[in-house]
C-alpha cells in the first residue's frame, strides 16, 4: 500500500556537500541515538513486564480455541500478522521505522558518509542548522541524528538547496541530473521538545529524498514542518513511534507542484502509548502537469487508550493537467480512541479565470500568481536566511520578478 520506487540517475558520484552550524557535532561514528533508545528500552520493559506463565497460558488457550472455531478463526491480513510479530518482539529498535523504508535509509546513510549529531542534554535548549547543497551530476546527502534528553529542547533547521544546479543548467555540457536528500532519526526523551523545519528549494533536474524516523517518550512533543517547493521528483517519508504516554507528534507539510514535477509523500504514525496525539496537516497547490500522491496512515495499536489521531489535506488544483491522489488510512485495534481524516480539493473554475482575464490576467499569469503566493508564504515563514535565500532564488526561476516583488513588499 505504501510502496513506491525511487530511481537514482545512473553515473552519479557520491559527493556530499553539507555544512553545519550551531550546537551540533559532525562525527564519523556516533551511537548517541542507539544509547538513548537502549535506555528507553529498559524503562519500557520495567513499565511493561512480560506476561506471567499463567497469562501466557491463558492467551495460548484463547488462540487455540480461535484456531479450532467453526468459522475458521479470526482472519488476519499480512499487515496484522507483521504488526503482531513486531509487538511480540518487545523491542523498540525493531519497532523503529524509517518513513522511506530501511533499505532507502541505509543507502542515504552510506552516501552521507558521516553523521551529524544534534544532542541536547537534560533540560538544555539547543539550536542547529544543517545545509545540504545539491551538486549537478552528484549525490549530496546528510545523515542526521537528533537526541533530546529529558525536558530538553531542540530547534533544527534543515535546508536542501541547489543554486549550483541553476548555474550548471546554463552549460549544456553539464548534466542537470543530481540527487540530494536527508535521513533523520529523532529521539525525544520524556518531556522533551523537538522542532524541525525542512525547506527544500532544489532546481529542476534534481531528485530529493526526505527520510525521517521519530521516537517520542512520555510527554514528548515532536513538531516537523516540511516545505517542498523544488526538484523534478521528490520522495518524502516519515514514520513516528508515539511510545510514551501523552506524547505528541505534529507534521505540517506545505508543497508546490509546477511544470512536470512529481511529489510522493508517505506518513505512518503509530500510537503505542495511552493518551497519545498526532496531527498530520498538508496544504499545497498543483499547477501545470504536476503530480502528487500523499499516503497518510494513523495506526491506533492495542494499549493506546485515550489516543487521538487526525489527518487533513487541502489542495488547490490550478490546471486540468494535474494529477492528485490523497490516500488517508486509519487502522484501529483499540477502543476509547479517536481517528479523524478529511481532504478538501479545490479547482480554479472557468468563471474565476474569466474574471481574472477581464482584469488583464492571462491563464499563465494567473498560474504564476498562485505559484507566487505559495513562494511568498514560504519566504515569510522561512526559519533563517539560508532557507529564505533558497526560496527567493527558486521563486525567481519559476516566476520571474518574484524576488523583486517580495523585497518591495
> Read out DSSP for 98-162?
-TT-HHHHHHHHHHH-SEEEEEE-TT-EEEEEEEEE--TTEEEEEEEEEEE-TT-EEEEEEEEE-
The residues of the chain scoring below 50 in pLDDT are 164-175
Q: What is the pLDDT of residues 84-133, one digit of tens each?
A: 777 777 899 999 999 999 999 999 999 999 999 999 999 999 999 999 99
Query: What's the pLDDT score for residue 70?
Result: 60
Query: Hunting for cell 529529558 — which residue is that?
Result: 150
Query: What's the pLDDT score for residue 27?
Result: 63
CB-count exposure of residue 380 (10 Å: 0-12, 13-18, 19+): exposed
Neighbouring residues of 317: CB distance < 8 A, sequence distance ≥ 6: 286, 324, 345, 346, 347, 348
What does the domain layout of the chain look like in residue ranges?
99-408
Query: Hunting for cell 488517508 — which residue is that?
Result: 328
Quote the DSSP letter at residue 68.
T
CA distance 279 to 223: 9
CA distance 126 to 146: 11
Q: How far is CA 14 from the centre of its chain?
A: 23
Query: What's the pLDDT score for residue 73?
Result: 57
Query: What's the pLDDT score for residue 8?
Result: 82
Query: What's the pLDDT score for residue 61?
Result: 75
Q: In 3D, which of 317, 280, 276 has the Cα closest to residue 295?
A: 280
CA distance 183 to 112: 9
Query: Hunting for cell 510479530 — which residue is that?
Result: 85
Amino acid at each position: 500500500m505504501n510502496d513506491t520506487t525511487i530511481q537514482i540517475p545512473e553515473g552519479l558520484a557520491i559527493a556530499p556537500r553539507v555544512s553545519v552550524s550551531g550546537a551540533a557535532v559532525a562525527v564519523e561514528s556516533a551511537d548517541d541515538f542507539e544509547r538513548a533508545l537502549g535506555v528507553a528500552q529498559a524503562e519500557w520493559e520495567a513499565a511493561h513486564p512480560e506476561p506471567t506463565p499463567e497469562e501466557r497460558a491463558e492467551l495460548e488457550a484463547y488462540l487455540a480455541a480461535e484456531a479450532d472455531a467453526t468459522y475458521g478463526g479470526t482472519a488476519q491480513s499480512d499487515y496484522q500478522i507483521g504488526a503482531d510479530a513486531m509487538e511480540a518482539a518487545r523491542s523498540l529498535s525493531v519497532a523503529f521505522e524509517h518513513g522511506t523504508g530501511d533499505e532507502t535509509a541505509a543507502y542515504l546513510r552510506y552516501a552521507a558518509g558521516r553523521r551529524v549529531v544534534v544532542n541536547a542534554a537534560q533540560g538544555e535548549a539547543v539550536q542547529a542548522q544543517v545545509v545540504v547543497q545539491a551538486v549537478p551530476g552528484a549525490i549530496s546527502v546528510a545523515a542526521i541524528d537528533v537526541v533530546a534528553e529529558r525536558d530538553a529542547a531542540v530547534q533544527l533547521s534543515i535546508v536542501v538547496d541547489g543554486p549550483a544546479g541553476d548555474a550548471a543548467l546554463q552549460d549544456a555540457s553539464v548534466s542537470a541530473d543530481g540527487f540530494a536528500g536527508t535521513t533523520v532519526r529523532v529521539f525525544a526523551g520524556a518531556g522533551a521538545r523537538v522542532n524541525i523545519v525542512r525547506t527544500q528549494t532544489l532546481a529542476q533536474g534534481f531528485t530529493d529524498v526526505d527520510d525521517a524516523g521519530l521516537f517520542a517518550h512520555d510527554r514528548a512533543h515532536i513538531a516537523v514542518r516540511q516545505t517542498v517547493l523544488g526538484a523534478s521528483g521528490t520522495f518524502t517519508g516519515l514514520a513516528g513511534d508515539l511510545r510514551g504516554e501523552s506524547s505528541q507528534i505534529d507534521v505540517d507539510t506545505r508543497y508546490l507542484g509546477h511544470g512536470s514535477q512529481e511529489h510522493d509523500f508517505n506518513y505512518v504514525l503509530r500510537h503505542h502509548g495511552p493518551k497519545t496525539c498526532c496531527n498530520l496537516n498538508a496544504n499545497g497547490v498543483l499547477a501545470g502537469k504536476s503530480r502528487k500522491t500523499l499516503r497518510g496512515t494513523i495506526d491506533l495499536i492495542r494499549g493506546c487508550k485515550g489516543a487521538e489521531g487526525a489527518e487533513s489535506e487541502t489542495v488547490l488544483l490550478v490546471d486540468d493537467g494535474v494529477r492528485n491522489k490523497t490516500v488517508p488510512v486509519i487502522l484501529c485495534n483499540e477502543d476509547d480512541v479517536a481517528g479523524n481524516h478529511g481532504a478538501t480539493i479545490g479547482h480554479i473554475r472557468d468563471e474565476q479565470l474569466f474574471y481574472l482575464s477581464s482584469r488583464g490576467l492571462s491563464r499563465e499569469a494567473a498560474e504564476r500568481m498562485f505559484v507566487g503566493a505559495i513562494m511568498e508564504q514560504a519566504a515569510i515563514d522561512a526559519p533563517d536566511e539560508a532557507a529564505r535565500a533558497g526560496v527567493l532564488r527558486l521563486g525567481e526561476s519559476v516566476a520571474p520578478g518574484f524576488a523583486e516583488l517580495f523585497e518591495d513588499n
